[in-house]
A and B are shown apart, each in its own frame.
Chain A
Amino acid sequence: MHRKIVEVIVRLVLPTCCKMIERETITVSLKEGDTVETLLTMLGAKYGISWLGEGTGVIFVNQKKAGLETPLNRGDEVLLVHPIGGG
């Protein structure tokens, strides 16, 4: 079945030292039914962020904590919070 393209907004809360993504907010096109895991795989391939491996951050979809299996819909705001904490 052909799946529709949906756009989600990804907002990154990273220490600004992380040069992997220059912009704080990016819009990503996914297919209907894609999950957070799909998104993270895409971001990983594009920007080299290993969100699925060591140091996986906290993920929110529309301000609610989400898991890898959480489905994404048009206009969802995904917040990726880097796990680092220090000092």
Chain B
Amino acid sequence: MKGGYVGKLLFVDLTTSSIREEELSFDLAKNFIGGYGIGAKFLFDMMKPGVDPLGPENVIGFVTGPLTGSGAYMGGRYMVVCKSPVYGGWNDANAGGYFGPELKKAGYDGVFVTGAAAKPVYLWINDGNVEIRDASKLWGKDAKEVLDALIEQTGEPKLRAAVIGPAGEHLSLMAAVINDGHRAAARGGSGAVMGSKKLKAVVVRGTGEIRVADRQRLSELNKAIREAIANPPDNVFGQYVRGFANLGTGSTTTPSVLSGDAPVKNWGGIGIEDFGVERAKKVGNQSFNENYFVKKYACAFCPLACGAIYRVDGGKWPLGITERPEYETAAAFGPNCLNDDVEAILKCNELCNRFGLDTISVGATIAWVMECYEKGLLGPEELDGIEAVWGNAEAIVALTEKIANNEGCGKILALGSQAAAQKWGKGYEYLQTAMGIEVAMHDPRLNPGWARVYQYDPTPGRHVKGGAASVPLNIPDRGKVDVAMASNFEILSSAGLCQFSMFAFPKGAIKELLEAVTGEGFSEEELFTAGVRIFTMRHSFNVREGLKRADYTISPRVTGKPPLPQGPTAGVTVDNEKLGNEFYATLGWDINTGIPGKDTLERLGGMANVIATLYGG
């Protein structure tokens, strides 16, 4: 293609210390776009089913999209792909910051790492020169400290790095991959996979140019996007743009708590009653900003700039410079634990960033602990003397520190709530998980479509996956709408765009950006099919692992079984099975097994490997 792609992929085997390059073929790029798509295609081909996710045969990939670093607004993302150690299936996670564009400038669209090193190493990719370097002196450093140490070791102040903190080294199943000190490809345990390979960091520095087929057109499209963000429409999408630009994702925390969107008290509470208006306001970003705001933070090529740098001086947990928590983080450590101590939320956010932890899973696991504590299933004896009473901010911070440091009860809790329930042999009934991973902080009892996304996406429990999450149930052809929105998400993510482009961009901009940058024409139909193809490839990875539809479980409370007695979602039970049926049927998958039909795979094209695996020949 004329632009967007570097055209090269890097493959590293840490067991044999071998390094090789491969050209990215035109057909692969056209069929799978980038990111999740190219990642899923390669992992399906490179891996055998049944391998230990924390063994050397797992492959972890760091993959960009054609728009990553191209100069297209919001095109700063890269994706981490691997087999998840949490649920033993397909995993991907996505982060912004500046790592993705730098990887491409260093010479590669993606890096796939297999094998395991005998001692800690990091991968140093410097303008096409690739080395596996000793990381013994970096092991144990947190995700911020290690950046300074890497700059010292390489002598390159402009490097970028995707790293693990101590949590990944300890193989915490909640371990994230962190870049730029606070951007996290957080979910599904990718950090533990890096840790299992003794891979502390993928470090990149490049001066290469990322080609763009039509710079004039790209410039015009960017101008239109900038104007759309500066003058958002007076509808829900426009309100997202205004809110995120002014206050970040937590601009919605207060209304989410009260409307029933944010789970409260481990999904068992009612925001307006159990948390109330004043406390809901306290954990909202308006309140955070008034006290701690230093300046805005934007990922690469982003005019929206939904991040912020904060400063916390004094108080119980002085942090100095830190970052504004995302909505998910504030919700997980806040109302879901009945906690309104803002500085505790900031402290937990900082701990998770430094130690390399997924804030959603850590906050949700602590909420589970608190419910078990209330019900008398866990006590100070299991929790190293910590009194895990609802809303006890000191206890929330102490438990997060235990998890971060992998000590005492933290050794058990670092594996997530489901593994902790198994280890202690109790508390199963209070788990709020999908296929074993803690579900994100948007409640299907308010917007039922979340149930389908949480339960039936190949990466369960995520709030960053596509689908008709917030679309009313009673629309005609709901399955089609769900599939169309899922496909759209696959495309924009795989292209390297932030998901917020979905509501911030003018209509049709994603397709036009792809065409301007790559110089390749994409019809609407081609893009829709490519999105479904990517979704199906991710799902097929799970099918090959033996995961059937019945394995895609979700905790009953999350779908209103039983329903809440009061509050805005009183009486709501979500028919998640019906949503799943409609979704699977629309995709052409068997609604009982979840296996994609052969004719469906043939129609999609580019799925020969999947057809051969599932149907032979």
| B254 contact set on A, CB distance < 8 A | 13
Which residue of B has the minimal Cβ distance to A17?
A: B242
Question: Which residue of A48, A81, A84 contacts B239 across the interface (Cβ within 8 Å)?
Answer: A84
| A84 contact set on B, CB distance < 8 A | 236, 239-240, 243, 252, 255-256
Give A15 to B286 CA distance when docked, in angstroms.
Answer: 8
Inter-subunit contact A14/B255 (CB<8 Å): yes
Fill in one digit per residue for A33-64: 1 if any B CB lies within 8 Å of its CB, else 0: 00000000000000010000011011010010
Inter-subunit contact A65/B252 (CB<8 Å): no
From known contacts A79-B258, A82-B255, A85-B259, infer whether A16 and B246 are also in contact, taking CB-CB under 8 Å.
yes
Inter-subunit contact A15/B273 (CB<8 Å): no
Inter-subunit contact B258/A58 (CB<8 Å): yes
Inter-subunit contact B235/A15 (CB<8 Å): no
Which residue of B has the minimal Cβ distance to A77?
A: B277
| A65 contact set on B, CB distance < 8 A | 272, 566-568, 570
A47 nearest CB across to chain B (Å): 11
Question: Which residue of A13, A17, A87 contacts B245 across the interface (Cβ within 8 Å)?
Answer: A17
B249 within 8 Å of A by Cβ?
yes
Give A33 to B262 CA distance when docked, in angstroms.
Answer: 34
Inter-subunit contact B242/A15 (CB<8 Å): yes
Give A84 to B247 CA distance when docked, in angstroms.
Answer: 14
Which of B255, B262, B327, B328 has the largest count of A CB atoms less than 10 A from its CB? Answer: B255
Give A55 to B240 CA distance when docked, in angstroms.
Answer: 12
Give A84 to B259 CA distance when docked, in angstroms.
Answer: 9
Which residue of A has the minimal Cβ distance to B328?
A: A87
Which of A82, A83, A85 has the largest count of B CB atoms less than 10 A from its CB? Answer: A85
The 8 closest A-B pairs by CB, nearest first: A87-B249, A17-B242, A87-B327, A85-B261, A15-B243, A17-B243, A15-B251, A58-B259
| 22 pairs of residues in contact across A and B, judged by CB atoms under 8 Å | A15-B239, A15-B246, A15-B247, A15-B252, A16-B243, A17-B242, A54-B235, A54-B236, A55-B235, A57-B255, A79-B277, A81-B568, A82-B259, A83-B236, A83-B259, A84-B239, A84-B240, A84-B255, A85-B256, A85-B442, A87-B248, A87-B250
User: Which of B's residues lie within 8 Å of A, judged by CB?
Assistant: 234-236, 239-240, 242-252, 254-256, 258-262, 272-273, 277, 280-281, 286, 306, 326-328, 442, 446-447, 470, 566-568, 570
